[in-house]
Structure 1
Amino acid sequence: MSPQSNGSEPRSPLTLALFGPPGSGKGTQAAFLVEQLKIAQVSTGELFRQEVRRGTRLGRQAKEYIDRGELVPDEITMAMFRERLAKSDCAAGVLLDGFPRTAAQAEALAAFLRGLDRQMDRVIYIKVPQDVLVSRLSGRLTCPECGTTYHPELAPPRRAGLCDRDGGRLVQRDDDAAETALRRINVYKEQTASVVDYYRNLGLVAEVDGLGPIEDVRGRTLATVSQSRVG
């Protein structure tokens, strides 16, 4: 599938945003979309880690807030994303993973995209019942190096206890306990409600049922992208 064509005149580069609460399988679907559509993936967490690791000006500023356990201000986050989206690998299309996080960021992003003669094509929200999310998160394993997550039953690593990507030893985070997982889910919903509503009012949100085999969820997710490029 090409993000650039549907049998009519050339389209602007595909721009997607992907949301889903902890345990929804968002990371798995993000990896699938990036591979299938041949577009770049840009996530807030990875972008922050890269900037901090490189010691850039924005990275140093963000680290001050991160170290205090505070949210990085919108102006710093947006500055990072403007620089990232201007890179050549985003020219063919981009999947924004968990970004924007606020309505203000969404408005700033829209203005930036207009300057590039682009627009948001579709905002995908992976929907999973809360009790299922808690069950999925309990016992989850995480690679402390790259952030990739696994589950002993739902998404086991190829080698027990080791990350498929970098061979790092997997750990169970304290915040993956059931009661903490529930709190994380509720906080996520509260924090993303405004931005999801912002895009819903623009008719851009497609809710995808996150239950069932991964292949089925992939099919439903990809179908929403195809619909966004029709007409």
Structure 2
Amino acid sequence: MSQPHILLLGAPGAGKGTQSSRIVEAFDVEHVTTGDALRANKDMETEYGTPRSFMEAGELVPDPVVNAIVEEALTSADGFVLDGYPRNLEQAEELDGMTDLDLVAYLNVAEEELVERLTGRRVCSECGTNFHIKFNQPAVQGVCDECGGDLIQRDDDTEETVRERLRVFRENTEPVIEFYRERGQLVEIDGEGTPDEVWGKLKTAIEAAQ
């Protein structure tokens, strides 16, 4: 079976990271995220400068630099699951010229479900292990199973911050979803089941696309 080229779309909390890990394991492809690609190529020269120059200044890396870095990452991968890019319509149009996609999968999860997932997340302050007050509880409330550290709620997991993140996602990325839907490339996956249930649907869609 050939190594697929997959674009995975979804709001924060939709499960892209979890499902991407399963795709990597099942189909022997690379997991390409914008953040990882920038860190791996932070000294790559572009006509706008290196990613490092923007990152060290605390500035957003401009789209042309991000586009160049992502293209480099995709070109060097036999197969991939792309997660976190494109974030806007302009990037989607750039991606169109970089590579051919076998599947564009959108993990569709209702906003209230996303809010519950993200606001209930707790992270160990010592080792960074993730838990959830409903879906993945530690053996002892507030204590990490792995190292015994304190479990905390990250600042960006408060309800106010989560709803703002979702608003930004809708504003920037929903046009991307419509872009692929109008072209008949989008496959919607119900992302509200268990990780195993979602994986079953996603795996079927990937196999059908090859």
Q: TM-score of the superposition, structure 2-length normalised?
A: 0.83
TM-aligned CA deviation for residue 195 of structure 1 = 1.4
Aligned with 1:63 (options 55, 60, 80) = 55
Q: Check if 1:126 corresponds to 2:107.
A: yes
Alpha-carbon separation, structure 2, partners of 1:26 and 1:212: 13
Residue in structure 2 matched with residue 227 of structure 1 by the alignment: 208
- Aligned-residue sequence identity (percent) comes to 36
> Which residue identity does 1:191 align to in structure 2?
N
SS at the partner of 1:199?
A: helix
Residue in structure 2 matched with residue 161 of structure 1 by the alignment: 144
Using the TM superposition, name which of 143-152 and 100-109 deviates more: 143-152
Q: Which runs of 4+ in 1 moved over 6 A?
A: 143-148
> Which residue identity does 2:84 align to in structure 1?
G
TM-aligned CA deviation for residue 80 of structure 1 = 0.6
1:123-202 pair list within 5 angstroms: 123-142=104-123, 149-155=130-136, 161=144, 171-202=152-183
1:1-231 pair list within 5 angstroms: 2=1, 4=2, 13-52=3-42, 55-57=43-45, 58-63=50-55, 67-68=58-59, 70=60, 72-87=61-76, 90-91=77-78, 93-113=79-99, 119-142=100-123, 149-155=130-136, 161=144, 171-229=152-210
Contact 1:48-1:62 at 8 Å conserved across structures: no
| Unaligned residue ranges in structure 2 (runs of 5+) | none
Deviations 1:122-150 (A, max 9, x none): 11111111111111111313579998854
Deviations 1:35-73 (A, max 9, x none): 111111101122233344xx55533134156x14x4x22
> Which residue identity does 2:39 align to in structure 1?
R
Alpha-carbon separation, structure 2, partners of 1:75 and 1:148: 34
> Which residue identity does 1:105 align to in structure 2?
Q
Using the TM superposition, name which of 103-112 and 185-194 deviates more: 103-112
Contact 1:163-1:169 at 8 Å conserved across structures: no
Deviations 1:68-125 (A, max 9, x none): 4x4x2211001111221222xx11x111012112222222222122xxxxx1111111
Q: TM-score of the superposition, structure 1-length normalised?
A: 0.76
Contact 1:18-1:26 at 8 Å conserved across structures: yes
Contact 2:124-2:144 at 8 Å conserved across structures: no
Contact 1:61-1:76 at 8 Å conserved across structures: no
Cα root mean square deviation, aligned: 3.0
